Amino acid sequence: MAKRAPTIITCAITGAIHTPTMSAALPFTPDDIARQAIAAAEAGASILHMHARRPDDGGVSINPDHFAAFLPRIKQATAAVINLSTGGSLTNTIEERIAPALRFSPEMCSLNMGSMNFSFHPLAKRYDTWRFGWEKDYVANSDTYIFRNTFRDIGNVASTLAPHDIRFEHECYDVGHLYNLRFCMDIGLFKAPVFIQFIFGILGGIGPEVDNLVFMKRTADRLFGEDYRWSVLGAGGAQMGLATTAAEMGGNVRVGLEDSLQIARGRLAESNAQQVTKIRRIIEDLGCEVATPDQARDMLGLKGGDRVAF
Ligand code: KMH
Ligand code: ZN
């Protein structure tokens, strides 16, 4: 029997959904972001998916200077692949969203494969008091948000970043996004093997049921054949269960406080590293090997950590 490829763990450290009130563990100062990212890598994450935050109040930031405050520290302390988000937050244009990737030329960055509702407004009802003034409106108003990723936007990101030789984490929140990606490959925007993040449980995207994971995987097999690698992200309480199922099915996994604040349903995680440690143990208990950063680089065809600009 052919040996199974090792499982890549991505850890998404802070994101743009959760706010400081929701968990004291969510990092937002550069020190905390760097410390948690390094600990996640030491625990077994070979890819670190990074957003920035305003250091004073934890607001979501796409300011490249805020990334500059932690990227070199993470690079010096770990061999992990650094993947910069181009998702931004509720108010940013696509040009603003790619500014960090343009400046830092990372090995990877996210690329969202379709426009959609993307809401977390139900979370606003769970808190009576908020740590910072911006949080409540940010969360409550996400029900007005259209996450814009038109074909032209996707094309502009691909052509603007092409000279940087960046591999994308193609974020697919529903089955139609797989068809969008296939179309983009057919017109020459992306080269195989593409790396697809199947995303479940975002309000506006496909739900977090195992049936949906099987459906997404089957559709991707049909559309991409051997030309893709895949990973699974379950939002909120679905995170660990879906990651476990994905690992069992031969896929890669994404955990991190960006996507879920929990270590188990209803229990807050203490850190990103705690989630990585848990999924690592599960993967190893299933008899699989966890990928090192260099194995991840090989599997995804990355340019190498010495070719980034930070
Ligand atoms: N938090 C994920 C569900 C991005 O950064 O481009 C979405 C995400 C998007 O990671
Ligand atoms: Zn993200």
What residues are neighbours of ligand 2 (ion), with CB under 5 Å?
Answer: 85, 87
Strand partners for 83:
49, 108
Position in ligand 1 atom list of the atom nearest CA 169? 6
Distance 235 CA to ligand 2 centre (A): 12
pLDDT value of position 1: 64
User: What distance in angstroms lies between residue 303's CA and the mean position of ligand 1's atoms?
Assistant: 22
**Rounded Cα distance, 25 and 13, in Å:** 10
CA-CA distance, 304 to 294, in Å (whole number)?
Answer: 9
Q: Which atom of ligand 1 is nearest to the CA of 258?
A: 1
Residue nearest to atom 2 of ligand 1 (CA): 259
Task: Give the separation between CA 155 and CA 254, rounded to whole angstroms.
Answer: 26
Q: pTM for the whole thing?
A: 0.98
For the CA of 112, the closest atom of ligand 1 is: 6
Q: Say how many Å lie between the CA of residue 60 and the centre of ligand 2.
A: 11
Ligand 1 mutation pick, 19, 117, 172, 233, max ligand atoms within 8 A of CB = 233
Q: With H, G, I as helix, E, B as strand and everything else as coil, classify residue 101.
A: helix
Question: What does each of the 310 residues of the chain score in pLDDT, given as a tens digit?
Answer: 678 899 999 999 999 999 999 999 999 999 999 999 999 999 999 999 999 999 999 999 999 999 999 999 999 999 999 999 999 887 789 999 999 999 999 999 999 999 999 999 999 999 999 999 999 999 999 999 999 999 999 999 999 999 999 999 999 999 999 999 999 999 999 999 999 999 999 999 999 999 999 999 999 999 999 999 999 999 999 999 999 999 999 999 999 999 999 999 889 999 999 999 999 999 999 999 999 999 999 999 999 999 999 9
For residue 70, the CA-to-ligand 2 centroid distance in Å is 16
Q: Who lines ligand 1 at CB under 6 A? A: 12, 15, 17, 85-87, 110, 112, 171, 199, 202, 235, 258-259
Confidence at residue 3, expressed as pLDDT on a 0 to 100 scale: 80
Under DSSP, is residue 248 helix (H, G, I), strand (E, B) or coil? Answer: helix
CA-based max dimension of the chain: 57
Please count the residues of the chain: 310
